[in-house]
Structure 1
Amino acid sequence: MVSYHPDEGDAFAPDAAKYRLQRYINQHNNTSIPGYPSFVVNNGVIREDVSSWPDVTTDILRAESNQRGYTKLTVTAQTNETHLTVTVMPPKGNEIVNGTQYTILFVEHKKTVPEGFDNPGEKHRDRVLVGLAEFPMEGEMLAIDASIEAPFVASYPTQNLEEWSVIVVHEYTGEALKTRNIMNAQPLGVVELAVQSSALEEGTELPVILPVMVFLAVGILGLVTFQSKEKVREEE
């Protein structure tokens, strides 16, 4: 699960979230961001408000049951005193799917809400998207609030970053989504690496998540929530 915080009085509103929100707006031919909170599973139907949660769980189960094939992603993450660096094994020649990309999403856990914001909920937000990098099979690479170190390698500063996740998605490019409907726009593969503060050590290399974990995670990790200051408690 990833939370996108929009620029509408929210305490965070990172540029990476704005970029991903615009991707959904373009895909669904909308002119504005949907209401909050809203939920999307695997680029599917946008479900608005907490009352739609039964529909969200149905979407998750349907996505899991309909998933027949998936990309076997190999991902490693290393940390040092200043940065978290993520490497995705590039696809082999026969694995390249035109019109797709590998996207690295940097997600912060327990991100503290700063003073001065209306906050009737808890003192922190969980699974906040703070940076991203895109590596299309063809075309230019892109990074927002992150750094591209090499093809399929991106880094994010670890200052004040105690707990985090890295989510790698094999998905269609924004341009390719324009010619696809919500029934054939699902991610082709998803994997997540997560670390809590107690496990964050200098030079730690995380184990690769097995392909079966990718399959099991596709439905869950494809879930995106849109948050605002009016609705501060995430539903999981």
Structure 2
Amino acid sequence: MREIIFDTETTGLSPAGGDRMVEIGCVEMIGRVETGRTFHAYFNPERSMPSEAEAVHGLSEAFLSGQPLFAEKVEELLEFIAGDPLVAHNASFDFGFLNHELGLCAREAVCMTRMVDTLPLARSKFPGAKHSLDALCSRFGVDRSARVKHGALLDAELLAQVYIELTGGRQIGLGLDPAELAGEAAPIAIAVAAPAPGIEARAPRPHEPTEQEAEAHRNFIAKMAEPLWNKVRRAS
């Protein structure tokens, strides 16, 4: 199954109050394995950047003023996310901003049935614990040393690793065969060790005993004066 793990950065907390999305990062996973395909873009929000928001993600108004508008990248984004599930941490926040931007350029909103929120997953798995992305990375041993500030693509890459752990661990994604990743059944390959150099391989032995072996076994049994199974039969 194809899933898109994504994260956004914004000018604030409320799209209804005039805040805009300024960055999105998406990571493609198939069968809970990262494929290496990503989508990443910065956007000109056509408004000022509050200092509180800039302190979180480090994206200045001057930098963003030279970036494309969301409407200029929307086709590329929609092509990447296609119709697959979208995974985010506190996903209602990211969905709210994504759908707000889609609405501003007269595009259909992403259906909320596609939303997979890792925050309630974490709360269910670890009740009473901290559930921030940083806390979950620490819990699962995910390296977040590069996360000096929030960044949409970096956070999506970290969340992809956390999502794997929240939904069963890394062992569920060990099938790396391309046919398997594409959803096709792949034949099972069984490795057979070759004989060491200079050693002649012995032919497989038949599973059933020969008549001579069976006769030798009967003669051996007949020589036993008090076999254990006779004692068991008498006791029963």
Taking structure 2 as the reference length, the TM-score comes to 0.23
Taking structure 1 as the reference length, the TM-score comes to 0.23
* Higher helix content, 1 or 2: 2
* Higher strand content, 1 or 2: 1
Greater RCO (CA < 8 Å, at least 6 residues apart): 1
